Amino acid sequence: MTVTATEALAAAADAARLAPSVHNTQPWRWVVRGDASELYAVPQRQLLEQDPDGRLMTLSCGAALHHALVGLAAEGWQARVERPAGAPLAVVHAVGRSDADPHAMQRMQLLRVRHTDRRVVSDEPVPEAVREALTEAARAAGARLHVLNRDQVLQLAVMIEHSGEAERHDERMRAETEAWVGGDRPGGTGLPDAVIPSELPLTTVAERDFGVSGTLAAGAGHDTAASYAILYGDGDEPADWLRAGEALSQLWLTATEHGAAVLPLSSPVELDFTRQALRRMLGELGYPYLVLRLGTADPDHAGPPHTPRLPADEVIAVEPPDA
Ligand X SMILES: Cc1cc2nc3c(=O)[nH]c(=O)nc-3n(C[C@H](O)[C@H](O)[C@H](O)COP(=O)(O)O)c2cc1C
Enumerate binding residues for ligand X (CB under 6 A): 20-24, 56, 59-60, 63, 115-116, 118, 191, 208, 263-267, 290, 307
Q: Which is nearer to ligand X, 138 or 265 (CB)?
A: 265
Please report, to the nearest 10 degrees, the dihedral formed by the alpha carbons of residues 254, 258, 261, 263 taken in order: -20
Q: How far is the CB of 285 from ligand X (least distance, A)?
A: 22
Q: Which is nearer to ligand X, 32 or 181 (CB)?
A: 181
The closest residue (CB) to ligand X is 20
CB 206 within 8 A of CB 118: no
Q: Which is nearer to ligand X, 6 or 254 (CB)?
A: 254
Q: How far is the CB of 315 from ligand X (least distance, A)?
A: 14
Q: Which is nearer to ligand X, 95 or 179 (CB)?
A: 179
Q: How far is the CB of 10 from ligand X (least distance, A)?
A: 21
CB 287 within 8 A of CB 144: no
Q: How far is the CB of 171 from ligand X (least distance, A)?
A: 19
Q: Which is nearer to ligand X, 164 or 286 (CB)?
A: 164
CB 19 within 8 A of CB 252: no
CB 290 within 8 A of CB 231: yes
Q: How far is the CB of 124 from ligand X (least distance, A)?
A: 21
**Distance (Å, rounded) from C-alpha 241 to C-alpha 322?**
31
**Distance (Å, rounded) from C-alpha 263 to C-alpha 252?**
10
Residue 133 CB contacts under 8 Å (≥ 6 apart), including other chains: 254, 258
